[in-house]
Amino acid sequence: MFNTSFLFAALIWGSIGVGYFIYGKKQQSIGAMAGGIVMIAVSYFISSALVMSLACLGIVAVVYFLSKQGL
């Protein structure tokens, strides 16, 4: 479980999730805050770097579309 690609992917996606959470908190955007929390959780609970990256890319797309809708 603790191979290099998993640790690197968890670091990257967890950091992006923290960034989304902080951005959402400052902008009072529920979608960005929730997306950040989900991305942090995904980086903890998914043990494959590929699946984690695909899931996080999906979350980024959902947050983008929610922001375009005004949430």
Number of structural domains (the chain) is 1
Q: Answer yes or no: are the C-beta atoms of 59 and 38 closer than 8 Å.
A: yes
The pTM is what? 0.86
Residues constituting the chain: 71
Is 53 exposed, middle or buried, given 0-12, 13-18 or 19+ CB atoms closer than 10 A? middle
Question: How distant, in Å, are the alpha carbons of 7, 29, 34, 47, 66 from that of 50?
Answer: 12, 28, 22, 9, 24
| 22-36 per-position pLDDT tens digit | 999 999 989 899 999
| 33-56 per-position pLDDT tens digit | 999 999 999 988 988 899 999 999
Residue ranges making up the domain that contains 33: 4-69
Torsion angles phi and psi, residue 47, rounded to 5: -100, 5
